[in-house]
Chain A
């Protein structure tokens, strides 16, 4: 039982934080968002720091680090409001490729680790919401290899990526867990329609029409669950970084802004609100630790823990985000001011990889089947 970070993890945190402080100021972030949310140049800078290969095995040119290191990096990227698709490209994609045939791994992982290649999962379909088993994209084997047909939407950094990891159905009905295969599909094989996102990054619709794909695995569902759990753990950490910074900004403002002859910090209604905000932040931080620490647990335990963490972080993100806007007043509603950008990211994050109600249902349904969380 130990919640201290190792010296290496502290150095990793410092390195990311130094880059954010110097290289990713809010002015830069604001300008990027205004110009459409491009992230590839930012991703290349993360690559220079060695972060894109953080969890890629050493044999494929990565650093082979684990969930806690990913958590440390994600928290700092959150604090800096870094808009690159780090969770998807650097943390989830290598995990999905880990079950691919060796040749496919050797073809992609080294360039993914170095950041030359950006590969993102393309999971979302029009009607799938947060159900990983809902896959209507179909794949068939032809003489020239696998061909995929279907459409994915709001694919993170979809018009900047070099390739996609695409779940496609090779058998079964639209909602079956069995029959979902994973494919690596290159950008040139699909049609991409990009757009900016509400939170200052980019996404795209990816249309597959007899698109060629390389088979990663024919048993994709469990792998998807595992990678999504890793993504959720990272996003929990990102949320903690976002909230930490937003609270700090809010506290500064409360100590400066005067109304009725007093700083905002002088009003008890607002003091109690910031205490409640602090509560949600620290409950969130505690459960972010819990999520990453449980990533190595047996599947059932891991899934339950991830959903529990996500429920807490969902509540925390909503409360901290919304109340920090309220505590500021009008200024925080402007595009010019930093708080609104953190709030928008927190809001969108709450609906990524399963929202709070989705994960509450997961916790609730799993609860039925067990003697109890502490059994």
Chain B
């Protein structure tokens, strides 16, 4: 047992830190540091910088053009990016669909889709949830009917994050109504420019159009866009979910935001109030404990051990912590957080108000964070999964 990183791991961290410092545009990191609005261009610029270096697919094996890093190296890369205030990589391409294409796609699909994901050129979206299928995802109805060498897709997806920017979308579609709901689902890649695809943004309670409804009206999709076998899509989707559970805990961002919380609390004069500071202290303990739990999982992964049964807990805890730090930041700003100045979400805004600009996005961030305990399988669904593991039934 050793909590210290090896000298090789530390050298690796230095290398990443140096590169990120050299290559992360200052205007982008400024926006991340203050939770300002990121444009499509901001996100794409950073994705392409990573892509050019070969690090947008930082979790990819070498044979698909990735760096072939082990679990600890991946973690260190993520941590350095987070601490330097890099934007979170939009995961749908490099983190979510790419591993499925690698594991279950054919060689032609791999050659066709992976380069555009690795370079950051192509923006991918995720088509999972539907109006009638939230936590109960397997009940999805969006239908794909095989007609000759193509599928005809009809139905609706929703909560499609940043789908307004999307060029391709990977979808779970119903190809059969036989047997259990899970066994009639297929994994289909759809060009969002196809006739019959309509995207309508949904404004969330923070005022931002972060998610979308996506309609499919007799959309023709070439059959060669089917991943793997028809009706095996649920298995592929589960593979995807199993893939990135430490990532969803987002402990690195939590570490960064904890320090930001302390700075805000100091600036607002509540850090010297023991009752307030104790709340930060409790959060600090929560963050350290989450980090230790993440490191346990990574260490087991690196040593080729079977994945620990704590992995399912990471999503629950990580999302609770995200909500908590955003809540405490808002509470630190106190009555000032009530002002809603939409222009203050843009970098460079300077209004003649009593409160400093960095306080203005805090309430919006808190409102936005309510999603974290709901998406990716609500925390109640996660508890069902944990209970299943613990009780063995």
Q: Give B256's nearest chain A residue, CB to CB.
A: A374
A5 to chain B, nearest CB (A): 6
B90 at the A interface (CB under 8 A): no
B295 to chain A, nearest CB (A): 6
CB pair B1 A278 closer than 8 Å: no
B383 at the A interface (CB under 8 A): yes
CB pair B277 A283 closer than 8 Å: no
CB pair B9 A283 closer than 8 Å: no
With a cutoff of 8 Å between Cβ atoms, the chain A residues found around residue B295 in the complex are 1, 3
Interface code A299-321, partner B: CB below 8 Å = 1, 0 otherwise?
00000000010011000000000
B298 to chain A, nearest CB (A): 8
B3 at the A interface (CB under 8 A): yes
CA distance A106 to B251 in the complex (A): 49
B contact patch SS: helix
Interface code B370-393, partner A: CB below 8 Å = 1, 0 otherwise?
000000000010111011001111
A16 to chain B, nearest CB (A): 17
CB pair B278 A364 closer than 8 Å: yes
Residues of A in contact with B, size category: 35 or more
Residues of B in contact with A, size category: 35 or more
Question: Pick the contact of B2 from A268, A271, A293 — CB < 8 Å?
Answer: A293
With a cutoff of 8 Å between Cβ atoms, the chain B residues found around residue A9 in the complex are 1
B303 at the A interface (CB under 8 A): yes
B72 at the A interface (CB under 8 A): yes
CB pair B299 A286 closer than 8 Å: no
B350 at the A interface (CB under 8 A): no
User: Which of A89-97, A214-222, A365-373 forms part of the interface with chain B?
Assistant: A365-373
CB pair A1 B299 closer than 8 Å: yes
B333 at the A interface (CB under 8 A): no
CA distance A265 to B293 in the complex (A): 26
CA distance A276 to B384 in the complex (A): 11
CA distance A283 to B287 in the complex (A): 10
Question: Pick the contact of A308 from B274, B288, B293, B316 — CB < 8 Å?
Answer: B288
CA distance A1 to B4 in the complex (A): 5
CB pair B390 A278 closer than 8 Å: yes
Interface code A251-289, partner B: CB below 8 Å = 1, 0 otherwise?
100110000000001001001101110110011001101
CB pair B391 A308 closer than 8 Å: no
CA distance A174 to B288 in the complex (A): 35
A1-B2, A282-B313, A289-B296 known; A367+B284 contact, CB < 8 A: yes
A263 to chain B, nearest CB (A): 8
Q: Give A247's nearest chain B residue, CB to CB.
A: B390
CB pair B317 A308 closer than 8 Å: no
B374 to chain A, nearest CB (A): 16
CB pair B386 A278 closer than 8 Å: yes
With a cutoff of 8 Å between Cβ atoms, the chain B residues found around residue A372 in the complex are 258-259, 262
26 pairs of residues in contact across A and B, judged by CB atoms under 8 Å: A1-B2, A1-B302, A3-B300, A6-B1, A247-B390, A271-B383, A272-B383, A272-B384, A275-B384, A275-B387, A278-B386, A278-B387, A279-B316, A279-B317, A283-B293, A286-B296, A286-B310, A287-B289, A293-B3, A360-B282, A361-B278, A367-B280, A368-B277, A372-B258, A373-B258, A373-B287
